[in-house]
Structure 1
Amino acid sequence: MPRHRLVLDARSPSIIVPLTGRDLTELAEQIGALRSADSEFRSTPVRGTPPAGVSPDTDRLVDVVEWRVDLYGPFTAGAGSDPDPAVQALEQISALLPGLPVLATFRTRSEGGGAEISPEAYVALVEALASTGMAAALDVEYRHPHAEDAITAARRHRTPVVASNHDFDATPPAEEIVARLTAMEDAGADVAKIAVTPRSAADVVTLLSATEERYRAARIPLITMSMGGLGAVTRLGGGPFGSSATFATVGAASAPGQLPAEGVRHALDLLSGRSAPRG
């Protein structure tokens, strides 16, 4: 059972910040920078209250960290697929960030990731990370050939699953986006996530329209975004359309178009009407 719950609500979107370090030293440095930024942010006053029924920590800069396991040295160096180094790193990350939920993600190259392992090793890694109880959730690529087994492995340890899909070439039609998000829920995911690439402003509208359509029927939280500069508006204003989280940066980005976390927090506060600008 994870020590932290992953609580997502489109009425108050969470900010997820990636950790992309290649080794324990880099991860510790990134965590130090994140903690410093969070501490500085907390030292400034905030006014207002969250929407009715929602009680987030409005003084917090970051709500969740995503550890990109595929960017970790033992995997990018082709040293094999032994999950033990990842388990040890997750334990250290959790020790350094005792108050934050950790989303553990191994992004394969077909989905824009930094490493590749066999389908069987992918499932074994998901199971090993879930078994620690240190991950609030595990990312599982819904189009992975062993996605069903990976979801079953995570749920065996009562660890929630964020099913994900990335399109780095285009934005599918709205009905296809809705269908993918629906399929993720039907497969047993606890959160459905999709990221697409816009080629026009109309593509951004398509993503938001599909999000709103699926949100009305979904029984699980959604995370949706258009990547790159053209889609930046979806990283700030996705909440009213049904997206319950956004990815932002404290340091290195993990995907095109991610914005600095402090600016994103200011924007979310202003859009929600729960605070005035800080400072």
Structure 2
Amino acid sequence: MDIFDRYAPFIQDYIYSHDWHSLRAVQNAAGDAIFHTNKNVLLCASTASGKTEAAFFPILTLLEEDPPASVGVLYIAPLKALINDQYERLTEICEESDIVVTRWHGDAPATAKRKLLKKPRGILQITPESLEALMLRKHMEIPSLFHDLRFIVIDELAADFLNVGSLRGSIIPKFDGGKEVWRLSMEHFYNQAPQAGEGEDEEEVHALEAPSDKAPFASDPGMGYIFEHTRGRKCLIFTNSREECESVCQNLRQYCEANHEPDRFLIHHGNN
């Protein structure tokens, strides 16, 4: 049976509504492994290859067909930023189903946590630190939370660790991802130095208008380039340090504010 035909109707509707022409190789391979074996599954694919959908489309299908009596999926990720990103994606996927997605970390809403404790269900997204704290501080709640747990999804894990203590064995689906085409471009930006005797201070020298004419804002041309070229796209912005990551993100958020656009920049690093 084709993997798409095996998906729950709300998953198929999601795929149609997002104009997918076909499933990716990793999604077909993951669906075959999850639907047709009871082994642990490790998915290895490049960034933005569709691994999240590859894992969750079959998992959500199985949850829809046989709803668990507690939290059905425990999703563990090392970073709050990663959980927040996946939360938005999974919530959109599950919009037409009865599957609830709850995120649990230090910055997550307390109201959603209380609702989950009162009525455990759906998907719980959590960091390792928060999971440890949950088990220590809410140990009396653990049986009701996880007594019908079906799947544990761990982001960023090696096969050797996955096999430890498990009698199921593990499978790493093999697939041909096809030929990938990479396009590379490079842009250079220079800060204008003050002319001798002009006496401008540093802020005046580097003051430039924002790329949009909606609202002027002081910044450098590199920030303006990033702001314009990330609009309407999924992008990763790399910096040289965590401190610079904070600064760049703040500058880009100010660009959003100055141009009356919603904030679209999230920090993703080891301190978050």
Question: TM-score when scaled to structure 2?
Answer: 0.27
**Higher relative contact order structure (alpha carbons within 8 Å, sequence separation ≥ 6):** 1
Larger Rg: 2
Question: TM-score when scaled to structure 1?
Answer: 0.26
Greater strand proportion: 1
